[in-house]
Structure 1
Amino acid sequence: MASNDELTVPQEDLAQAWQRTLPERLHGGDKAEVLADGADPQTLRVHIQSAGHQMLDFDFSVQYVDSREIHVELTDVEKDGQTVDERNDTIQELIADYRRHLHECAQALHHFTHA
C-alpha cells in the first residue's frame, strides 16, 4: 500500500535540522556531518567520526521512506582514510549503535518532518 505521507521538507532544511540534532544523540566526542544527497531529494549523507583511539569514520545513507520512517544504509567504514572490513565485532557494535542513534534522530525530528 502506497503512503500519502510523503516528506515535504526541503532537503537543505532537513540536513540542517539533522546537523543540529544528531550530535546530541551521539556519544561525547563523536562528530557528525550531515549533507543533502545531490542525487536524491529524499536522502541525506551522514558522516560520523567515532571518538577514541580507533580513528574510525562511518558513512551512512539515510533515506526517508515517508515523513516518519527512514531506511539506513551503511556505505563505508574507514580507519585512517583506508576502507576497513566492517565485519569485526567491535565495528558491528558501533554500526548498530550509530543506526540506533540515526533512528533516534529521525524520531526527534518527527515534529519537523511530519507537517
Structure 2
Amino acid sequence: MSSERQLQTDRRLILLNPGDNCLIAAARLEAGTTVEIEGERVTLAKTIDLGHKVAREPLEKDAKVLRYGAVIGHVTVPVARGEHLHTHNLESDYLPTYTHDAGHAFVPH
C-alpha cells in the first residue's frame, strides 16, 4: 500500500497489516461520525468501540476477514466499507487446538 493511500485514512483507524481488509478503532467512534477510509468519506451507522474492527473495503457474504495478515473469520452477510465487524456479522474461523473433557485436566510440563 502506498503511503499516500494510508495518509488518506482517518488516524483513529489503524491498519495492522497491508493485506488486512479491516481496520482497528484507536478510539471510540460514535454513530454518525464521518471518517475517511483510503480517500472515501464514510459515516458510521453504529458506535465503534475502542479496539473493534471496521471493514476497510466492501465485503461479500462469506468473504474472509484478515487481521494481522491472518484469516480470523468470515462475514455472514454483505458488509459495507466502514461497517462494524463483530459477532452480528462475523463468524470465527478459528479451529480449536484442544478439547476439554471434565475427566482430563491440562497439566503443564
Where on the TM-score scale, by shorter chain, does this alignment land: which range?
A: under 0.3
TM-score (norm 2): 0.23
Task: Identify, as 1 or 2, the structure richer in helix.
Answer: 1
TM-score (norm 1): 0.22
